[in-house]
Structure 1
């Protein structure tokens, strides 16, 4: 009988997922999605292959579950950080900083590369996690207009431009000691782009 990790079956499931996600995070950073195998993840996580297959029938399912887990944590982190700021300018600056810092920490194939690595249904599930982030940006932009912090512009035009600028991996793939400077330059760029009034 397989060894149960934790005091209950639910604790066991949580422990397996935690171990597997930690390994997957490291392997995505070290070698990228294409080079990852379920057997390799199971071995590195100290989890039997059968146990891993019970949770994730294939590599795609593992990636989708991992992204859903990471996205939920990030949305909570982003919401808390933005809501801690009263002024929309500070909220937008916080949004930009977090987006770029997470991009620097999170090594996933970007947009089109990820789309080509996954079946369309799996990619749609992953893409759906951008919705709460986009909603948060939309609320910040609306709040800035309402308080007169920047002029009214069509958010359906601004949001794709901002997210495209913040989704560019080349910004954060440079030397780590330059990251703070790059992030602050991006904050100034986005604030200027929306017409933020100092």
Structure 2
């Protein structure tokens, strides 16, 4: 009988999943996704080679579950921060600060190289998580337009431009915040 870590089966499953996720990020820093095997993930996570299949069907399933867990954690944190927003411009400031300040903690996308190796089904599942984050930004922008705080015509393009601005590593969070709010007409 395998050893159960944690105080319950549920805790065991969560801790095992977290160990596999940590193994995934660690191994992806060393090599490409196609060079990883489930056995590599299991060994790095410190679990049995066959035990990993009790949690994940394949490597794609690990990536999708990881993306889901990261998105859920990020959305919880973002929601708590946005609860104190005093209006759309303030909500945009919070959105920007949370995204920039948490970029080291959360894994925002694996890059086109990894996505090219995933199945269409896995990409579609990951896209659902991207849409969940985008819906928060869309709500902030829609609220800003409705309140007359943002002067924009094309919400979809604006969302893409905001997210592009957040991807920069050379600008300070304050500079990004000022730039985006000026662009929105706030």
TM range (shorter): 0.7 to 0.9
Whether 1:94 and 2:84 are equivalent positions in the alignment is no
Q: Is the 8 A contact 1:39 1:49 kept in 2?
A: yes
Number of the residue aligned with 2:10: 10
TM normalised by structure 1 equals: 0.81
Number of the residue aligned with 2:160: 160
How many equivalent residue pairs? 185
Structure having the higher helix fraction is 1
Whether 1:185 and 2:175 are equivalent positions in the alignment is yes
Given the superposition, is the C-alpha separation of residues 182 and 30 from structure 1 closer, same or farther in structure 2, using an over 3 Å criterion?
A: farther
Q: What is the aligned-residue RMSD (CA, Å)?
A: 2.2
Whether 1:48 and 2:48 are equivalent positions in the alignment is yes
TM normalised by structure 2 equals: 0.86
Number of the residue aligned with 1:131: 131
Structure 2 residue ranges without an equivalent (≥5): none
Deviating more after overlay: 18-27 vs 52-61: 18-27
Structure 1 residue ranges without an equivalent (≥5): 175-180
Give, in angstroms, the shift of residue 92 of structure 1. Answer: 0.5
Q: Deviations over 1:44-86 (max 9, x none)?
A: 2221111112211211111111111111111111111122221
Whether 1:27 and 2:24 are equivalent positions in the alignment is no
Taking the aligned partners of 1:192 and 1:32, their CA distance within structure 2 comes to: 39
Deviating more after overlay: 145-154 vs 50-59: 145-154
Number of the residue aligned with 1:140: 140
Give, in angstroms, the shift of residue 129 of structure 1. Answer: 0.4
Q: Deviations over 1:75-109 (max 9, x none)?
A: 11111112222122121112122223343442743
Number of the residue aligned with 1:178: none
Give, in angstroms, the shift of residue 145 of structure 1. Answer: 2.2
Q: Deviations over 1:153-189 (max 9, x none)?
A: 23123222222333x4xx23x6xxxxxx522221122
Deviating more after overlay: 49-58 vs 19-28: 19-28
